[in-house]
Structure 1
Amino acid sequence: MTDFPVHTLETAPQAARPALSGLKAAFGFIPNIAGAMSTSPVLVSSLAALFQNVHGGSFSERQIQVLLLTNAVTNASEWPVAFHSYLALQQGLSQADVDAVRDGRLPSEPGLAALSHLARTLIETRGRLAQADIDGFLGAGFSREHLLEVIAVTAASTITNYTGSVTRPPLEAPFDAYAWSRP
């Protein structure tokens, strides 16, 4: 269990409430990880702003979920893996592709595989991509803008992945079926 409270709009520090309200509007509820994160208004506000930018960028929601799920698995953060497994399925990713990413493999669709591979490589190399990694991503039909946008998605997921690993928030009931543990 966690020593970090999972705040609500009523219990969160005043400075964290606007960010929590925005996340509630986006998801229809306040995810437990955001409630735990709101102990730091700076952290939850940073995530909310980055979240808005990432989800308003050039990737589809399906592509974003592949990136976020890949990042959560690569960072071995249990709450985000469950959450993004659920969201990826909601965005039309196949169960086989969700299972592949959860197992550290690539999705079957070439474009999604290129996204997942780049995301994992970016984290594993701490941003020091080889030219072959960049060329492979660009060769899959993505642009330099996309490459840099993957960094923004990685920044957002780093916030949630690290927060999940530090605070260990409880998993909400709708995500129980997607619980995951590091292999």
Structure 2
Amino acid sequence: MTSYRVHTVDTAQEAAKEPLRGLESAFGFVPAAAGLMASSPALITTFFSAFGHFRGIGTFGPDERQVLLLSNAVANRSEWAVAFHTLEALQDGVEPAVVEAIRLGEVPADPRMAALSAFTRSLIENRGSVDDARVEAFKSAGFTDEQVVEVITGVAISAMTNYTVNLARPSLEEPVLPHAWTVGNSTGA
């Protein structure tokens, strides 16, 4: 099996150092996904920029962003990302029952979060080709036309991290360990 280096601020190429510094400052550690993506300055800087825009000028609240990202992680069968976004979702105020439902591949009971999770998974499963009924179901939960296409940003960001960690299979960091997840724990995706 090929092994991939999980970079730190000290070991990354110069162009990848600044994004890693930002993530280390935000989390207290460099998440393994970012350390792996730092092997390619193009990947880590693209991710960092896209995530910054998604968070900074996007219209989803912190809890909604985490529902979207956790739904992506489950749909992409990304064990590291499910654990990481479980931690983040709980910290950002997502109800534990919503988190658990998504981790199980189920639809959350909360109607708004259910619509966001279902629409996100539908975009992934159908490679962007969703029918009008799915769009209308998403919008009827109170989401806007702008948010219909903004979900694509979250899907793209998740593809970068999920695919990186699915390829490299890094160990979970200590703060994330209590939220470990395996593909077999999901009834979906």
TM-score normalised to the size of structure 1?
A: 0.96
Q: Which runs of 5+ in 2 are unaligned?
A: 185-189
- Which residue of the partner structure matches residue 17 of structure 1? 17
1:70 and 2:71 matched: yes
Q: What is the alpha-carbon root mean square deviation over aligned residues? A: 1.2
- Which residue of the partner structure matches residue 165 of structure 1? 166
Instruction: Indicate the percent of aligned positions where both proteins have the same amino acid.
Output: 47
- Which residue of the partner structure matches residue 187 of structure 2? none
Equivalent position amino acid for 1:118 in 2:
F
TM-score normalised to the size of structure 2?
A: 0.93
**How far off is 1:30 after superposition?**
1.1
Equivalent position amino acid for 1:13 in 2:
Q
Q: Is the 8 A contact 2:122 2:130 kept in 1?
A: yes
Secondary structure of 2:166's counterpart equals helix
Q: Is the 8 A contact 1:2 1:169 kept in 2?
A: no
Which segment is superposed worse, 166-175 or 64-73? Answer: 166-175
Q: Which runs of 5+ in 1 are unaligned?
A: none
1:27 and 2:34 matched: no
For residues 118 and 29 of structure 1, the distance between their equivalents in structure 2, rounded to whole angstroms, comes to 32
CA 1:164–1:120 in structure 2 vs 1: closer, same or farther (change >3 Å)? same
- Which residue of the partner structure matches residue 50 of structure 2? 50
Q: Is the 8 A contact 1:2 1:168 kept in 2?
A: no
- Which residue of the partner structure matches residue 36 of structure 2? 36
Q: Is the 8 A contact 1:77 1:164 kept in 2?
A: yes
CA 1:167–1:61 in structure 2 vs 1: closer, same or farther (change >3 Å)? same
Secondary structure of 1:36's counterpart equals helix
**How far off is 1:91 after superposition?**
1.2
Secondary structure of 1:104's counterpart equals coil
Q: Deviations over 1:61-86 (max 9, x none)?
A: 10000000000000000100000001
